[in-house]
Amino acid sequence: MKQVIATVISNSQVMPGVYLVWLQSPQTASIAQPGQFVMVLCGDDTLLRRPLSIHQRDGSKIALLFEVVGKGTAWLSRCKAGDSVDIFGPLGNGFALQPEAKNILMISGGIGIAPLPFLAQKAVERKCSIKLLAGAKTSAQLDIEHLFPEETEIIFTREDIFEGKGRMGKVTILIPDYADWVDQVFACGPPGMYQTMARMPDLKGKQVQISLEIMMGCGRGVCYGCTIRTKSGLKKVCQDGPVFDFDDILWEELT
């Protein structure tokens, strides 16, 4: 892993407030794995880099899918083809597909879809059967089919009351329908989604890996700003994660 200057290939808004930027970065792409992330320097007037999941990889290019939530991501959303972006990575531990797993269930909440297409592509190469349970606050945030391999079956939920894709409700309401089918579960979403999953008997005994979305300072394990408590002691999300075994997290202590 190292700091590199990547070149913007394209940058487009794919959903309201959500952007997909492709970067030319052979050094990063050559070693990136699903679930890892990069720290992005978003302009000269931002103090801290932003951690962004590696969304996809294509040869010497990587893609980042991100929501505009502040000054840094707003700057990144305005980058154009040919612009330079300072990135550091890939960082962290990613997802691990078990050799015996054939039926893969992915669960996403909101922008938690970001690292999952890269994983889905790996699963397709392994000839796995893939189902994605995708939840968002509105139907407008569920225009995601084009982000995933065509072999991915996507089942939607939305939290708004208006007509749209899928069932109304949080994505966790779908889990019982697929618990008997799945060999391995991968999830990315907000802490509230995980805390609901932790109370569900349907996932007991299942192999579940989750990616934690949490604020990071340095991304290198120096500042301890992303430290969490687990059953096996204190862990730094940037180094020990962002992917963890679901059962290792003390969910009642994570806010």
Give me the pLDDT at residue 44, please.
Answer: 72
Give me the pLDDT at residue 252, please.
Answer: 78
Residue 226 has pLDDT above 60, yes or no: yes
Asked if 170 contacts 159 with a C-beta cutoff of 8 angstroms, the reply is: yes
What's the Cα-to-Cα distance from 96 to each of 43, 104, 171, rounded to whole Å?
33, 12, 23
Question: How sure is the predictor about 210, in pLDDT bands with cuts at 50, 70 and 90?
Answer: very high
Distance separating alpha carbons of residues 197 and 210, to the nearest angstrom: 11
Average the pLDDT over 192-199 and give the result: 92
Give me the pLDDT at residue 181, please.
Answer: 95
Give me the pLDDT at residue 138, please.
Answer: 84
Residue 221 has pLDDT above 80, yes or no: no
Give me the pLDDT at residue 170, please.
Answer: 93
Question: How sure is the predictor about 246, in pLDDT bands with cuts at 50, 70 and 90?
Answer: very high
Residue 61 has pLDDT above 90, yes or no: yes
Residue 228 has pLDDT above 90, yes or no: no
Residue 255 has pLDDT above 70, yes or no: no
Q: What is the pLDDT of residues 21-38, one digit of tens each?
A: 999 999 999 999 999 999
Residue with tokens 């204190």: 234
Cβ contacts of 77 within 8 Å, gap of 6 or more: 11, 13, 19, 66, 68
Strand partners, 53: 37
What's the Cα-to-Cα distance from 199 to each of 38, 75, 202, 251, rounded to whole Å?
32, 39, 9, 10
Average the pLDDT over 142-149 and give the result: 92
Distance separating alpha carbons of residues 59 and 61, to the nearest angstrom: 6
User: Among candidates 117, 13, 120, 129, which has minimal Cα distance to 74?
Assistant: 13
* 209 CB-side CA count, 13 A: 21
Cβ contacts of 118 within 8 Å, gap of 6 or more: 32, 34, 35, 54, 55, 56, 57
Q: Of the given ranges (52-66, 121-135, 155-169, 195-209), which has the lowest mean pLDDT?
A: 155-169
Residue 35 DSSP SS3: coil
Q: What is the pLDDT of residues 91-143, one digit of tens each?
A: 999 999 999 999 999 999 989 999 999 999 999 999 999 999 999 888 888 88
Asked if 186 contacts 246 with a C-beta cutoff of 8 angstroms, the reply is: no
Residue 1 has pLDDT above 70, yes or no: no
Residue 57 has pLDDT above 90, yes or no: yes
User: Among candidates 26, 129, 24, which has minimal Cα distance to 79?
Assistant: 24
Asked if 171 contacts 148 with a C-beta cutoff of 8 angstroms, the reply is: no
Average pLDDT over the chain reads 91
Give me the pLDDT at residue 178, please.
Answer: 95
Strand-pair category, 153-158 with 129-136: parallel
Distance separating alpha carbons of residues 66 and 45, to the nearest angstrom: 19
The structure's pTM equals: 0.93
